[in-house]
Chains A and B, each alone.
Chain A
Amino acid sequence: MNRDTASGSLPSGVLPMLWRRFSVRHALQSPLQSVLLVVILSLGVGVFFAVRLANRAAVASFQNFTDLITAESDGLIAAPSGTLPETVLTELREALADEAIQIIPVVETTATLPRVSDDEAIGSRSTFQVLGLDLIAVQNLADRRPANRQWLANPGAPSGGEPDASDLRVQARRLWESFRDPHSVFVSPRLAIRRHLVPGQEFPLVLNEAIVPLRVAGIIPTDPGQPEAPAELLVMDLPAAQQWSGWTGRLSRIEFVLEEGPDREGRWRRIRETLERLALRGPGGMAAADGTSLAPRWLVGSPADRRQSGEVMTRAFRLNLTILSMLALVVGVYLVFQALDGAVVRRREEIAILRSLGIPPGLIQRAWLGEAALLGLLGGSVGLMLGWIGAQGAVRLVGKTVNALYYATSAEQASLHPGEALLALALAVLTSLIAGWLPARAAAETPPAQSLGRGHGTTFTGPLWLQRTGWAWILVVLGVALLGVPPWRPEAGFRVPIAAYGTAICWTLAAGVLGGAFLQGLAKVLAWPALRVSHQPVIRLALSVLREPTGRHRLAVAGLVCAVAMTGGMAILVGSFDTTMRGWIERTFQADLFLSSDGAQSASTENRISPETWRGIASHPAVERAQVIQASRLQLPDGETMLVSSDLAFFRDHAKPAWRQAPQDDRVFDPRRNGSMALVSEAFSERFQKVQGDRIRVPTPVGMQDLEIAGVFSDYGNERGSILVDRPQFVRWFGHELASSLILVLRPGSDIEGVRAEFRSRHPGLAVFTQSYLRAEALRIFRQTFAITYALELIGVTVAVAGLAFTLISVLWERRGDLTTLRALGLTRFELAAAAAIEGVVTALSGVLTGIVASLGLGWVLIHRVNQQTFGWTLETDWSWDRLVLLGLMVIGAAALAAWGAGRWGSRLPAEREE
């Protein structure tokens, strides 16, 4: 015998041997169960991974496109609201004359392909980002970077191959002529491949209100070290972009690229100080006496800030989606637990023998935890594959929501990200380990074989807290207390409803515990009439078991309660959203026709309608009243928001806003008295913590405006919030009348469809929607944002029912001695299966009833805390009883089938030899 073990320690190879000879062999002996378990775990991991990749793709598509042309700029300036006047370029060139720096003026706008059919869905066409660049400045840059030279010297040819000098001159002239043509555009290589575009080819794009025929001047080359330009990027000369976007003489931003040289950081710091000083000077070059009363003309930032803004904007949305996707993992924990626990029950004899042979409890526990980790690893690996495939579909769903609520994203593909893959895999293993902890402990506590079958600790009691309802009531009270805690605000403009999530967790756990107690009570209540009405042994048998439910029954109920509560809670939230949105849409869309640029396919569209066009439309004889909406992005110290303007009296009369805080009087609706007043959306109020009567300072091109909040209205259009002012103020501040949209009330008796058709034919670059169409589309877009939640709900319920089946299998295995006795007493297999089915149905009924009660609480928390604190949207509560009843029936029906299957399996078990 090996003397190394004389001290009593085990040789190192025992643990792998246990896995090899026991875990693996058991898995191979029950391949269906093993595969099922891996698949379910992989579904949880897959959903999480898919959502994370899709989120990442949607955020990654929001980038600083200019970087792709200039390599990375060192800094940029942009107006806090609206655009910059082109005249600042002269000012900047003078101020920075001594600096070795390239100044790149940029106009950025959006465009789409013309619509193919008249009834296409909003958002169905890709949005292109159109960059207008001073190509001379870009050429200067390119001259300093040999890798970029070929693009400018040889338009149309992808990089590769060095042109000779005479060719260069000819091509440079052609290039120059090509640049000056306002119809010239450079397209990305991906777009060229996708749409079979070659230099010289024409293709139309909707820019503002016009369908503009553009010609491919060349293909944007890929600079070594830079990512390839995305398919949706188009580049044109600055004056052309200004012309088509309606921003003649204006710039979206100005970027700065420092010449190569030492101390780049120090030079940029110096330039930044100069830029910040210049920003506070008035157009005449005089510093204001009171610097604070003058709005900075621009804000200095970096490309990194800009890249991050997409991430910041969608942070709350992505956080919620991630939390939702983790629900699938949580229910995965439950299922893995049930499966491993069942395995402990079935393999108790094996464990007991191993204990008898001298394997210590700690090693048994480690072996089981290792088995759980292996399961997590396998499930996680399959989940990564499923998730990557799922991400390709999810990226479209997420992209559509981001498009509708935040900014244009045309992400169509999610790329594999090693960090996310590792995170998902680690979560899978961690999930399995958490789920495997109790079964592993139960395995370790299994007595050696000598004690088996003699009544010493062989019944699973489950965790003690599951049997003590006192804890549950404490959790309920704690949940109530947490409702009073405000959201966590890690930074300005961003809040996380941590306390509300805490309430949801407390109540879900409490409901799980109380469900077990309810099962006992329910069985007793049902037993009374059942045993008097029927003398069927099957019913007696099933109910007698549940009058003293085991720890395993309680856990099954807890799992069902969690799944039903979460699914029901989500159903109530979605139902409330639906009801609220329908009400809001019906109130808001009261007018007859709604016009916008046909290129407006996302929330961040820059497309506008010119004053000439909207005036012409507004003066149409059929139009009784026209409402012009103008809007500008607004950068406040605490985050980005929107400044919107319209006729406030029209807004009150025709949009019929739902007031969260109604104006105290009519001053805000009177153009003669509302010069320093504004209305704000509820999302703005929640996000920036401003309420009626507070004052807000809004930077505009003519200085800082001090506005009093006269009222707060509900708006479900975006979660960034908006400030609404009367249009004359907006025009005075921004100096233009470009409209974002136009709302028309037609004269009574007008042929709405006829007028719409007339406007469509006269202005093919405009989208003209009727009230009913726009209502239907708004509802469709909203419902589409919830598509992913339905899939997650389905997974949750499926897993819970599968968990119940696992539980019943374990319970029956534990009672196989009783089954032997019952068979000996003459019960048929059908009767045994029926008894198990009744046991399953009553267990499920208990889980469903408790779960539905819990879902009412969870739904309330989701609506009035999580949603309200995250997005700032107050919703009308719709308890969605029809959905809850349907959910309950589905779970009970599925549970009955699963229990019947388990019963059939149990009735075929071999006789318990030890009894």
Chain B
Amino acid sequence: MTPTPAEIPPTLLRAVGVGRSYAGRAVLKNVSFELLAGERLALTGPSGSGKTTLLNCLGGVDRPDIGRIELGGVALETLDGDALAAVRRRRLGTIFQFFHLLPTLTAAENVELPLQLNGVPTEERMERVRYLLERVQVSHRADARPSELSGGEMQRVAIARALAHRPELLLADEPTGNLDSRNGDNILRLLQELSDETGTALVLVTHSPDAAAICHRELLLRDGEIVGETVRLRP
């Protein structure tokens, strides 16, 4: 059944004619797409196709040479470094292939950090950290340092950290790329569940068909261009 306009979620992210070159080589060429609030989008393609560059541009970490990217109606190219940092702090969550947990902080402290950066009161912060660690099933390792955690545990903590401040958009770069298949499956299931629960949109860069399968839509990139789109489900 086709949803009525009132049921269609609003557009969260819009990329229009995005292009990016490094040393004269075009890495992204005229990329345009939209992402709805709560939608999960997979970016797939061979190595060097421009997936990560596109993800960096979406996260405001890299700036396109041409084209524009709007997040919630705000054009990222108009923002300075501090404003982009504020966007990352408040509206985005990021999950990395290599987890990137802060080595001096415990698992709980890593999850707590985005809440501190957003000025969440201590009591609320503690409650949310406890909830998230339980939700990702690592509450028993709350006081462990990253060096004491397994790969799967580290990625669970990283997911909890990325969702702690209730971002509108989650950017994930090969989140299962450094995990075995069992841990990878668990992480994908967790991402799917949490995205559904919180209504957080997800842009997932992956080589894995299994990972892409949890997304509503899949964009296939090749040589910096979108060469195909697969729609699986609507949010």
Contact = CB atoms under 8 A, between A and B. Distances in A.
A2 B55 CA distance: 28
B85 interface: yes
Size bracket, chain B contacts? 35 or more
17 contacts: A1-B119, A4-B119, A8-B89, A21-B104, A21-B109, A26-B104, A349-B100, A350-B102, A353-B101, A355-B88, A356-B94, A357-B89, A358-B89, A358-B114, A449-B100, A450-B62, A450-B171
A29 interface: yes
Given A5-B90, A29-B104, 12 more contacts: A8-B90, A14-B117, A17-B116, A350-B102, A353-B100, A353-B102, A354-B102, A355-B88, A357-B89, A358-B89, A450-B52, A450-B171
B82 A360 contact: yes
A448 B62 CA distance: 9
List 7 tightest A-B contacts by C-beta distance, closest first.
A358-B89, A8-B86, A11-B119, A2-B119, A360-B85, A358-B88, A25-B104
B100 A14 contact: no
Contact of B81 (A2, A360, A451, A913): A360
Contacts of A353: 100-102
Contacts of B101: 353
B102 A361 contact: no
A14 B117 CA distance: 6
Contacts of B233: none
Interface string B62-86: 1000000000000000000111011
Instruction: Specify which of B81, B85, B89, B166 lies most central, judged by the most chain A CB atoms within 10 Å of its CB.
Output: B85
A8 B83 contact: yes
A5 B116 contact: no
Contacts of A651: none
A359 B119 CA distance: 13
Contacts of B56: 450-451
A1 B118 contact: yes
Interface in B11-40: none
A354 B109 CA distance: 13
A349 B105 CA distance: 13
Given A13-B116, A21-B109, A356 B86 contact: no
A356 B166 CA distance: 15
Nearest to A356: B94
Interface of A: 1-2, 4-5, 8-11, 13-14, 17, 21-22, 25-26, 29, 349-350, 352-362, 447-451, 454, 456, 913-914
Contacts of B104: 21-22, 25-26, 29, 350
A450 B61 contact: yes
B165 interface: yes
Interface string B156-192: 0000010001100001010000000000000000000
B87 interface: yes
A294 B113 CA distance: 85
B117 to A, nearest CB: 6
A21 B109 CA distance: 9
B120 interface: yes
B103 interface: yes
Contact of A451 (B61, B89, B103): B61
A456 B20 CA distance: 14
Contact of A448 (B61, B86, B98, B121): B61
A13 to B, nearest CB: 7
B152 interface: no
Contact of B116 (A14, A361, A449): A14
Dominant SS at the A interface? helix
Given A10-B117, A26-B104, A450-B55, A1 B96 contact: no
Contact of A361 (B52, B62, B81, B96): B81
B68 to A, nearest CB: 20
A438 B129 CA distance: 36
A357 B96 contact: no
A296 to B, nearest CB: 71
A349 B100 CA distance: 7
A451 B100 CA distance: 12
Contact of B117 (A350, A357, A362): A357
Contacts of B161: 357
A357 to B, nearest CB: 6
A826 B55 CA distance: 37
A699 to B, nearest CB: 71
B98 A913 contact: yes
Given A1-B120, A4-B119, A356 B62 contact: no
A11 B114 CA distance: 12
Contacts of A450: 52, 55-56, 59, 61-62, 94, 96, 171, 173
A21 B88 contact: no
Given A26-B104, A352-B100, A450-B56, A357 B90 contact: no
Contacts of B52: 450, 454
Contacts of A352: 100
Contacts of B90: 5, 8, 358
A21 B102 CA distance: 10
Interface string B104-136: 110001000110111111000000000000000
Contacts of B105: 21
A350 B102 CA distance: 6
Contacts of B173: 450
A451 to B, nearest CB: 6
A448 B59 contact: yes
B85 A359 contact: yes
Interface string B133-155: 00000000000000000000000
Nearest to A11: B119
Contacts of A447: 61
Nearest to A12: B119
B29 to A, nearest CB: 19
Nearest to B113: A357
Given A21-B105, A21-B109, A350-B103, A449 B89 contact: no
A194 B121 CA distance: 66
A622 B85 CA distance: 95
Contacts of B92: 358
B85 A358 contact: yes
Given A25-B104, A449-B94, A357 B88 contact: yes
A490 B177 CA distance: 72
A417 B210 CA distance: 73
A349 B114 CA distance: 17
Contacts of B120: 1-2
Given A4-B119, A357-B113, A448-B59, A362 B82 contact: yes
Nearest to B88: A358
A356 B100 contact: yes
Contacts of A349: 100
A208 B119 CA distance: 81
Nearest to A22: B104
A421 B82 CA distance: 39
B103 to A, nearest CB: 7
A451 B119 contact: no
Contacts of A355: 85, 88
A449 B96 contact: yes
A5 B89 CA distance: 10
Instruction: Specify which of B90, B104, B120 lies most central, judged by the most chain A CB atoms within 10 Å of its CB.
Output: B104
A117 B88 CA distance: 81
Given A353-B102, A356-B100, A5 B119 contact: yes
A350 B100 CA distance: 8
A448 B82 contact: no
Contacts of B83: 8
Instruction: Specify which of A5, A356, A362 lies most central, judged by the most chain B CB atoms within 10 Å of its CB.
Output: A356
Nearest to A456: B62
A352 B105 CA distance: 15
Contacts of A25: 104
Nearest to A10: B117
Contact of A359 (B59, B61, B96, B117): B117
Contacts of A17: 116
A356 B61 contact: yes
A9 B85 CA distance: 10
